[in-house]
Amino acid sequence: MARCGQLPALKKWPALDVRRVEDPDLVLAIVDDFSPIGAQEYQDGFRVFFATPRARDAAVIALGRKATPVEIDDEDWAVRSQSDLLPTTIGCVTIVPSADFAASRSGESTTDSSGPISILIQPSMGFGTGHHATTRLCLLALQTIDLRRASVLDVGTGSGILAIAATRLGAASALGLDADGDAIQSADENLRLNPGVKNVRFVLRELSDAPLPISDVVIANLTGSMLIRAAGALQAAVARPGVLILSGILDGEEADVRRAFDAMELQRRDQDGEWVCLEFNRKVSCLV
């Protein structure tokens, strides 16, 4: 679900503000239909950026009174994203915007994956900051798995946060794939911001290109419809034995997604608001 991109060189950013809404995840799902290129969250809402005023205005119409169109000065954008986005903690992992990173590292364990872990993420790169429910659910699911010596495949890596977190949690290696060149650029930049992270690579490729590399743990944080279309490729990528984590599923899509993956054993289900995360096991005897 992470939508990442390097914002164009304009004097003003077309954006919209959404504050004090009862279901922010549902609002973000609606906004996602209009190709946002960046987002920053606040304690009482969020601001979403678009490549063109036309896309922004269409999103405002879809949201109605919930959204306010705004124009943001180019030079203010990075500063605001750094100062307004707050660190978020999911289990033992804390995702930290770069402005707050130094202060977060007090008492952090850098060698023991069972201790507190801080990951530095450039917050101006979009939804993949750990704040969106779909990313939080994946981070929680990763912490329920023994990742020691595991290879991890992150399909639709976006900002790369899940691949980076997997290795910090003990995985031997992680490969992030995305069809968006800007997402891969964002992921590589975030990897450079965490110099202690080893054995992580990001590769530009379509989900439909050739078979996916077989891995012990496969994560796919996409959309329900994309997961269903890619069910065969994703299941084939899971080693025997192995684990498949699916996120980006609205609760109304869950039944269809489960049917698409019914050759695997459902091990765990978590929900955050409208969003569902499913964890499947692929046993040695499982034929897919």
pLDDT at 235: 96
Distance CA 124, CA 274 (A): 25
Task: Quickly state the pLDDT bin for 284 (edges 50, 70, 90).
Answer: low
Closest CA to 266 of 249, 90, 113, 274: 249
Range ranked top by mean pLDDT from 5-9, 31-35, 124-128, 185-189: 185-189
Q: What pLDDT digit, counting tens, does each position of 246-266 carry?
A: 999 988 899 999 999 999 999
Task: Quickly state the pLDDT bin for 103 (edges 50, 70, 90).
Answer: very low
Region 30-43 average pLDDT: 76
Which one is predicted more confidently, 38 or 52? 52
Distance CA 52, CA 140 (A): 35
Distance CA 8, CA 132 (A): 24
**Pairing, β 45-49 against β 12-19:** antiparallel
Which one is predicted more confidently, 131 or 66? 66
Kindly report the average pLDDT of the chain as a whole number. Answer: 82
pLDDT at 76: 52
The whole model's pTM is what?
Answer: 0.71
Most distant CA pair in the chain: distance in Å?
A: 58
pLDDT at 49: 83
User: Token pair of 173, please?
Assistant: 């290696």
Task: Quickly state the pLDDT bin for 165 (edges 50, 70, 90).
Answer: very high
Region 275-281 average pLDDT: 95
| Domains within the chain, CATH numbers bracketed | 12-84 (3.30.70.260), 132-282 (3.40.50.150)
pLDDT at 28: 80
The answer to whether the CB of 126 falls within 8 A of the CB of 2 is yes
Q: What pLDDT digit, counting tens, does each position of 172-230 carry?
A: 999 999 988 888 988 999 999 999 899 999 999 988 888 999 999 999 999 899 999 99
Range ranked top by mean pLDDT from 31-35, 73-77, 187-191: 187-191
Q: What pLDDT digit, counting tens, does each position of 39-50 carry?
A: 777 777 888 888
User: Token pair of 111, please?
Assistant: 């060698």
Distance CA 201, CA 195 (A): 13
Q: What pLDDT digit, counting tens, does each position of 58-72 carry?
A: 999 999 878 999 987
